[in-house]
Amino acid sequence: MHCMKLLSATAVVLLVLVVASGLVLPARGNGQSTIAVEPQTVDVTVGSNFSIDISIRNVGSMLRFHFKITWDPNLVRYVSRTLLFQQGWSVETETVDGLGGTYVLQATGGMFSGDASWVTLTFHCLGGGSSPIGISPDPDSWWENPSVLVPFEVVWGGTCNQQPVAPVGGVVLPVNRLAVMAPYLALFGLVATVAVLALKKPET
Least confident residue range of 2-16, 29-43, 109-123, 181-195: 2-16
* Proportion of the chain above pLDDT 70, given as a percent: 59
**Does 10 fall in a domain?**
no
Per-residue pLDDT, averaged over 159-168, amounts to 62
SS3 196: helix
**Does 1 fall in a domain?**
no
pLDDT digits (tens, 9 = 90+) for 73-106: 999 999 999 999 988 999 999 999 999 999 999 9
> Looking at residue 124, which CATH number applies to its domain?
2.60.40.680
* Spatial distance between the Cα atoms of 61 and 32, rounded to a whole number of angstroms: 13
**Does 169 fall in a domain?**
no
H-run or E-run covering 188:
helix 177-200
pLDDT, residue 23, reads 32
Single pTM value for the model:
0.63
**Does 184 fall in a domain?**
no
**Position 39: which residue type?**
P
**Does 181 fall in a domain?**
no
**Does 129 fall in a domain?**
yes
Number of domains comprising the chain: 1
Domain that residue 140 falls in:
34-151+159-163
**Does 73 fall in a domain?**
yes
pLDDT, residue 203, reads 55
Mean pLDDT taken over the chain: 73
Indicate if the pLDDT at residue 39 is higher than 50.
Answer: yes
SS3 154: strand
**Does 27 fall in a domain?**
no
